[in-house]
Structure 1
């Protein structure tokens, strides 16, 4: 009887152990993902999309074959952006930013007189009336003789994105004394001076470089090698004088005694066109004064031939005196009272050019 009870107990324990093991096996199998069902390859037919409406681009799911999106029209800001005409960070010839400048600046005006150039009648008549020569010769005769001596000017150089032509125009005002501008002036590609400008002894203030020198017979001086003589003619006799001063020396007087000969390179002589001089009188000084001064003419010349322009030595000194930096002029201010030039008006134009960002005015 005892043996039977033991066998029953063992059977019951074995059955319980079997049930426990079976339960754990089902739990373990439930944690293992079933293998993917085996798929028999079949030929699938893609549903065809309806044709796009007229004017629409078909839509595809593959981004590599998707047609590029339509470009949006440029914004008003993009339309206003204009590429600079030169290689500087700002260019004189770019007139878009200044209505005041655009109304005065004419890029078609050529500063330099050219052989066989036909001068506009109005500008020629005005120029011939400034200081009459009275010898009865024609402009064509005098120009023909002149260009038999000097070389024809180089073709005009227009602004280019790869170039940045910097120019310093150096006046003769007493405000240059103790300015210390010499090194800054000489750092420009071209340095334009005028009349009796003196550099020796004033290099620290005015520099020692000169590429262009504006003068006329009554203010003539010898120039350095490779320096351009830029003649500003006020009368027909001035054209005769420069031909003479480079050759025979036969012209010794205009309305006063003048330098008979000048040392200058014939291949580097430039003559300001009377038509360009009249354009300055009309557009820039607006007929204030009888005609523009040499310094002001040099500034407008620079606006037409340079990409960036810096001005030194213009206006009165700190005490309000108008005199040359190399002298003490007891008649300081007389320049403003002659009536030939309107110094106050020219100074205002220079200041406005500075405000418009077309020149850098160093005082």
Structure 2
């Protein structure tokens, strides 16, 4: 007997444009996310996964899909994700332009982090932001004592070890942050992205330039076209780039962080499409989904006016600049709230 199968749309949907929406569009599948098989059962009693906080339990998806790779994208996924603006989806992007790099992203060989052998079965993490509160904090040794240390953006450690530590286990970046940091922070001693032996690199795909970067990086070639045309991405990882330790955050994870934890009222404004959590926020939430305990250092606190914008600005007092693409007050209040609810421990609280 013949089996009739419903034909699935095997072509990309027509492009949606951000300019057609005066505020963040609301789709009925906006808060639906891919989830992966449950991670290893944790034997860690104090794990934040065991938190009894009702609000947190309601929002938190322990198995949210963290990483994008060639095996978890197909045409129906592409079409679903095309409803969301970047970095939360592929709105305005052409299928062939993005797929040129996505189909090269290998499936991660291993979970991002595992408990240290001989430890207490818990994964203890420090997430180190770049805020001025770290100046003179003398918490470097405490930071380095964690199983894993996450850093992002212009993570200068040389010369600041006493305050910020010097280990980096996971470095979260965009193509922009890894290329611009030497330029912005060079005068403070920043030479290149952290490249500790065995380091894991996690990329936030925030725009077309990131997919162009990824294609060059994964092929070991120069970028062809766009803002980074002719650059050699692998040069920026100081010999530590390794396909098996390189991860790309999934659009569902980024959207979930925004929707469930950092939903800014600015998403109702006409500049909605540029509003997104900071790289530091995405890094902190990545830690919340891959670690059992998370201590946050160098994130914004209520008394931020007392400090320079960045800890590298040791001898100058700068003002924190509020850019309209990030909702710093919302983030600051969220860190304080997570600290008060014993989900994270925040330096300065």
1:1-363 map, 5 Å: 86-95=42-51, 97-118=52-73, 119=77, 122-128=80-86, 137-147=96-106, 152-155=108-111, 163-220=121-178, 221-224=192-195, 225-245=197-217, 247-251=220-224, 253-254=226-227, 260=233, 261-263=235-237, 264-289=241-266, 290-315=275-300, 319-321=305-307, 323-327=309-313, 332-334=319-321, 336=322, 338-363=323-348
TM-fit CA distance, 1:339: 1.6
Other-structure match for 2:8: none
> Per the alignment, do residues 153 and 350 of structure 1 end up closer, same or farther by CA in structure 2, a change over 3 Å counting?
farther
* SS in structure 2 at match of 1:213: strand
User: Aligned residues, how many?
Assistant: 273
Give CA deviations for 1:247-300 in whole Å, capped at 9, x if unaligned.
112247438997743222332111111110011111110244511111111111
CA contact (8 A) 1:92 1:308 kept: yes
Higher RCO (Cα < 8 Å, 6 or more apart): 2
* Ranges in structure 1 where 5+ consecutive residues have no aligned partner: 1-84
Query: Cα RMSD (Å) of the superposition?
Result: 3.2
CA deviation after TM superposition for structure 1 residue 345, in Å: 0.4
Give the TM-score taking structure 1 as reference length.
Answer: 0.66
The 3 A distance-change label for structure 1 pair 174 and 331 is closer
Larger radius of gyration: 1
Cα 1:266–1:313 change in 2 (3 A) is same
Q: Can you list the C-alpha shifts for 1:213-250, whole angstroms capped at 9, x where unaligned?
A: 01111111444131111101112431330331351122
Distance 1:249 1:132, change over 3 A: farther
